[in-house]
Structure 1
Amino acid sequence: MAEDILDLVNAMKARGATFALATVVRTVSVTAAKAGAKAVIEADGSISGGWIGGGCARGAVIRAARAALQDGTPRLVSIQPKDLLDHQHIGAGEVRDGIEFSRNMCPSQGTMDIFIEPILPRPSLVIVGSSPVGVALANLARQIGYAITVCAPAAEHAAFSAADYWNDGFALPDAADGARFVVICTQGKGDAAALAAALQAPPSAYLAFVGSRRKADALRIELAEKHGLPADRLAAFKAPAGLDLGAITPDEIALSILAEITITRRRGQRDA
């Protein structure tokens, strides 16, 4: 069963799914599941594989798993009988020293400690075009954990040494779970076609164009006339891409773009 669960975990990670892995780390007295038991819990609360016991534990674990997937923070849940909780002066639902406590309602009256780890997909960076800035951006973003998708003509794919997925042409792939960040790096080679493809795809957390404001404004006029894109969609991309760091070289421009993406990605995740 453990091998099957690990196979399932690897398969779900490979397809970019969002899920939580629950592992029983300690049991005391009589419990249905024992230490080492695992279960895969999806974002809707369904258990797609494994087993961590019956109804005595399932409800508390699913609630904790869904909360962990919301904030990306692992949790340790201790499911204990009422008399043990009372002895420690702990109420069901209380969090103490990083442990969330829940009441075991089953006649067995055992204790289970369960570690819940949220498994979130790598953030997706879609680079449209094969300019030197796009290549530098792929190299830099790969180092800090982004899943890189290159959308460019197949003949230009060889320019990239760091990418996970490839699309022939400018069309964006279907969006997977998690945030997606899109940067148009055509720099004069198919700018309008690349922007049209990006703007006609589902909205992304970040969409930016490597080019001047003047060029972007001209492209907005062209896209409105040729593709009939509405003003709100045409306003959805930022230009120029990146923070104003005074960047000049492709590597510096890539750094400024990734810094801006990091601000967008991490906004609201840190305490003030």
Structure 2
Amino acid sequence: MGDASMKQSLPVTLAHAGLDLASDVAPLMKRLQGDNEPFVLATVVRTISVTAAKAGAKAVVDRDGSIVAGWIGGGCARAAVVRAAKAAFDDGETRLISIQPGELLAELGVEPGDEREGVQFARNMCPSQGTMDIFIEPVLPRPNLVVYGASPVAVALALQARTIGFDIAVCAPPEDLEAFPAAVNRIGGFDGGIQSNGETYIVVSTQGRGDLAALEETFKVPARHIGFVGSRRKLEALKAKLRDKGGAPADLDRVKGPAGLDLGAITPEEIALSILAELLMLRRKNQRRHAEPEV
């Protein structure tokens, strides 16, 4: 992202933007990824007997469950694909669905909606009675790290965070923004109106320059995590001041400090690394649980 405000979401009615639903999906995928907009790519990977779409057919499903480009068949496949796509938006997981006639499902001993060995089954209600296997792949927005302050730790975070897949925005006094790379979304002041399609993580690293003002602004952002760079004692003192100003207990409890994992970090670069390690742990928590094999 550049210095301008973060890009706004695309209109939810993408089909009204003059897109041909049967066109090549690649241009739309590139556009959505460039705008950090979530979508699901559905790909037919196998067909048996008579089916409308053949292996290799693709479609893009938006977050409202509409197929906005490409084609993977008619109503026989659409309902199952949309259901699977909505589930993929919720958990971020890929899935393989197999749409088969009722008698074939019975031979396998499965019911529509059952899952076996990573395959989810659905019933083909169309007269063609063919089988289609469709791979559902969610392409979700990049997570966003918002850093408040221009301390050495803040600068180190801005330099390191992009290497592990975060988009970066920094909120700092205008005269301090030159400390950050031009590729970072630089916002003058602490009330920048942060917006993002992806999960948002916040780190307050003001270190004495606008601590209270920055913390108050973080409460306005629907962030998954708010970390404070500083001692636990300092954070508790700041929370007490905010409490006296009428700060809501629920908001104050959202701020965790000191930010980062206890790695014995000393330098700003090491502290930034410990903070990013904590954010990565939080970000991958559910994905790691799904990926771990049962023993």
Deviates more, 1:188-197 or 1:215-224: 215-224
Q: Which amino acid aligns with 2:227?
A: A
**Secondary structure in 1 aligned to 2:159?**
helix
Q: Which amino acid aligns with 1:15?
A: D
State the shift of 1:159 in Å: 2.0
Where do 1:156-195 residues align within 5 Å? Answer: 156-161=176-181, 163-195=183-215
User: In structure 2, what is the Cα distance between the partners aligned to 1:62 and 1:164?
Assistant: 36
The total of aligned residue pairs comes to 270
Q: Identify the residue that residue 35 of structure 1 maps to in structure 2.
A: 55
Q: Identify the residue that residue 7 of structure 2 maps to in structure 1.
A: none
CA contact (8 A) 1:142 1:162 kept: no
Q: Identify the residue that residue 99 of structure 1 maps to in structure 2.
A: 119
Determine if the alignment matches structure 1 residue 266 to structure 2 residue 281: no
Q: Which amino acid aligns with 2:179?
A: A
CA deviations on 1:20-51 (whole Å, 9 max, x unpaired) are 11112233333222333322223342333332
**Equivalent position to 2:270, from 225, 237, 252:** 252
**Equivalent position to 1:217, from 210, 226, 236:** 236
Q: Identify the residue that residue 109 of structure 1 maps to in structure 2.
A: 129
Q: Identify the residue that residue 237 of structure 1 maps to in structure 2.
A: 255
Q: Supply the RMSD in Å over aligned alpha carbons.
A: 2.5
Q: Which amino acid aligns with 2:41?
A: L
Q: Identify the residue that residue 167 of structure 2 maps to in structure 1.
A: 147
Q: Identify the residue that residue 16 of structure 1 maps to in structure 2.
A: 36
Alpha carbons of structure 1 residues 137 and 162: separation in structure 2 relative to 1, 3 Å: farther
Deviates more, 1:144-153 or 1:77-86: 77-86
User: In structure 1, what is the Cα distance between the partners aligned to 2:60 and 2:184?
Assistant: 25
CA deviations on 1:76-129 (whole Å, 9 max, x unpaired) are 222122343344454433333332222211011222221110111112111111
Structure 1 runs not aligned, ≥5 long: none
CA contact (8 A) 2:173 2:188 kept: yes
Q: Which amino acid aligns with 2:225?
A: Y
CA deviations on 1:114-164 (whole Å, 9 max, x unpaired) are 111011111211111121101212222211111111222344333223854
Identity of aligned residues (%): 56
**Secondary structure in 2 aligned to 1:171?**
coil
CA contact (8 A) 2:23 2:69 kept: no
Q: Identify the residue that residue 157 of structure 2 maps to in structure 1.
A: 137
**Equivalent position to 1:55, from 52, 63, 75:** 75
Q: Identify the residue that residue 7 of structure 1 maps to in structure 2.
A: 27
Alpha carbons of structure 1 residues 83 and 236: separation in structure 2 relative to 1, 3 Å: closer
